[in-house]
Amino acid sequence: CGLCSCVCVHSSLRWRYSNGNNSRLPLCVRQRWAYLKLMVNSLYYNSLTNSDVVMDSLMEPIFWMVDLLTRWFGAVFVCLVVILTSSILLIAYVGLLPLILNTYSPPWIVWHIGYGHWNLIMIVFHYYKATKTVKNDIPFVSVCKKCIIPKPARTHHCGICNTCILKMDHHCPWLNNCVGHFNQRYFFCFCLSMTLGCVYCSISGRNLFLDAYSRFKHMDLDKSGVPVTGMGQLIGILPPGTYQTPPPPYTFRDKMFHKSIIYMWVLTSTVAVALGGLTIWHAVLISRGETSIERHINNKEAERMAKHGKAYKNPFNYGRLNNWKVFFGVEKRSHWLTRVLLPSGHAPYGNGLTWDICPIRKDMIPV
């Protein structure tokens, strides 16, 4: 009994000593130390631990740093989108619109002004809604292993937003927001509208770009240099009778106009190719009734079931046409105009919690 008492006292003193030392450390250091111990303990927590769990645990600090940097730079990316788009609008209104009004026929003027402003409204509306529509305060029904809160099916945790997102597709740094159940339509419509706008600018400004680029090259070739006269002719630098070519009559405004046209065409053409590929990819996912994350999950599940001689079927795939109707919220014919071709703030089908019942009614099929 005496020996046991000594051991107990010694253990108590060690605990008090260590606890007293830890209490002197800053709170942030103690939290990091507790997190590190928890991460190390998770490596041998139970028999389900495998190489993937070990690698995830070891890479967790790197993931945390990437998420933190992405969260910080999100606002920078949003500002970059606004600045670049505004620069194209400035060139279009200041440089191109007067040219269109002075050279094009009335029908073409109506077309360019009508289509251009419709496209601009679609871009601004859907980008604003995609960046501002996110969070949800709906009670969940299962548990997230990262933030330890309940969540429903098709929900995934975003380390950058540090929350669970209903029907999460991905985190978009250009929106500084997650693309999920409530803003996926806004995101896709923004990508589609921006792609169409860039293609429109690229095609419409092609001839202007070629002309501006040709003139810009001549500006560089015809820059005035040091005139060579007198002794220069005698030593053979210039043949007799050669004189300096006077600089072209380009004003500062002309030079800025040509450079702006080149900048606009290069930027819109590049964005049209890059964003167009992303838009096509998301259109394929929508046709299949799945998100970017579910695409990888479904492929793995299909491979797993194929080994057992079974075929996997996506439970959220209602058919290509019906998938688009569900995505856009089309319930009747007029919705193709009011909810697809025009800006619309209607909510998506369902609340993002339950997916057991197909949201398509019988009267939607013939639409």
Kindly report the number of other CB atoms within 10 A of residue 16's CB atom.
10
* Catalytic choice (158, 161, 172, 201): 172
Q: Please provide the size of the chain in residues.
A: 367
- Residue 286 to residue 205: CA distance in whole angstroms: 32
β-partners of residue 172 are 177
Whether residue 209 contacts residue 267, with contact meaning beta carbons closer than 8 Å, is answered with no
Strands (DSSP E) found in 25-109? none
From the list 270, 263, 262, the residue with the least C-alpha distance to 199 is: 270
172 catalytically annotated: yes
Q: What is the DSSP string of 95-145?
A: IIHHHHHHHS-HHHHHHHHHHHHHHHHHHHHHHHHHHH--------SSB-T
The torsion defined by the Cα of 325, 329, 334 and 340, in degrees rounded to 10, comes to -90
Q: What span, in angstroms and rounded, lies between the C-alpha atoms of 359 and 316?
A: 10
d(CA 208, CA 65): 46
Which residues are catalytically annotated? Answer: 172
